[in-house]
Amino acid sequence: MTTLPDPYAKLRGLFQAEGFPAMEPEILQPSRLFLDLIGEDIRGRMYLTSDRAGEELCLRPDYTLPVCRAHLDGGAPETPARYSYCGKVFRQRQDGAGEFMQAGVECLGRADLEAADADTLALSLSALETLGVTDARIHIGDEALFRAVLSGLNLPAVWERRLGDLFGERDRLDAAIRAMRGGGTETARDDDTSAAALARALEGLAPDTAQSAVAELLRLTGLKPIAGRSASDIAERLLEQATLVRHDPETDRAADVLSRYLAIAGDPRASVKTIEVFAKDSGLDLSAALSSFAARLDAISAHGIPDTSLTFAADFGRRLDYYTGFVFEVHSASRKKAGQIVGGGRYDRLLALLGAKAHIPATGFSIWLDRI
């Protein structure tokens, strides 16, 4: 029997040589792992089944979550670790096969964050070179900078949380910023009207008073809360809604500041200067986040990666809640139709969301091998 050559042998060898041993998580994964951390939107892209006990399972749509879950299950989660993978993932897609190859690495527990970010980016470029891609164009962003801007604006907590959750989804973020200027929610659906009216009626009430009012309303109408929500949950959500729909002149200024920040883009080092001027004009202290950003650029340069191959955009982020800082994606200048061929960044929040008791910094990347 003839053994077929492994087209990704050099890639696997590179990861091994750089200290990233291979890991191959189970193909069948609990679907809740992805639904809880990515959201219900991914359900329509997963291949679902169930076991004999009735637990819903899915074919592995991604490697990062299963690798991190396996790390936590290994018994020493606080010990720094490195993993690599090169195998099949499964997603329902409008174009392309539902079964395709993905490769990448996960670096867990390194405390030298900027150096770890730079090393991860450099390794992704080396991996692309083994696959014949030598014309990489790198787009970078930094969620930590955006969060620092939000923190300095002293917004109501509900607005800060809402805007932070939308980072990386520019259309929805712009809609939220427009709502800040005029009061009201990002969308104006008919089914929001009664909820907004009730939210305004509860505005100004103490939480326990609002909870009692909602409980009495449910009793009088005979309505039952859905999805296990209590009167307290509903009251809290409505009080948040009241904050979102109330127009506050201070949020007008915050909206202007955010719009100005999100428009910053271009050469990363020039962008540092632009953000410094922006911070001074806006009365914001972004020194810590900017210092980290500049240190990362220096670490990237130390790998011989030219500044001219990098483009920064203040609004560029990943649409997943667990990303916390530096993010990047790589395109090939000669494969423009392929779109993003590498995506990665820092996801310090993920291990905690999976149940880690201690803070575990993490960074990594994935290569979409079918796009190369």
* Dist CA 335 CA 341 (whole Å): 9
Number of Cα atoms under 13 Å in the Cβ half of residue 316: 20
Q: Residue 23: name the closest of 57, 65, 59 by CA.
A: 65
Q: Tens of pLDDT along 251-296?
A: 788 999 999 999 999 999 999 999 999 999 999 999 999 999 999 9
Residue 89 pLDDT > 80, yes or no?
A: yes
pLDDT score at 3: 59
pLDDT score at 239: 47
% of the chain residues with pLDDT over 90? 66
Residue 197 pLDDT > 60, yes or no?
A: no
Return the exposure string of 109-123: e unless at least 16 CB atoms fall within 10 Å of the residue's CB, then b: bbeebbbbbbbbbbb
Q: Residue 316: name the closest of 160, 177, 145 by CA.
A: 145
* Dist CA 339 CA 288 (whole Å): 33
* Domains identified in the chain and CATH numbers: 1-113+124-132+360-372 (3.30.930.10), 184-246 (no CATH)
Q: What is the mean pLDDT of the chain?
A: 85
Q: Which of 78-87, 244-253, 263-272, 357-366 has the lowest mean pLDDT?
A: 244-253
Residue 321 pLDDT > 50, yes or no?
A: yes
Q: Which of 31-40, 176-185, 190-199 has the lowest mean pLDDT?
A: 190-199
pLDDT score at 304: 96
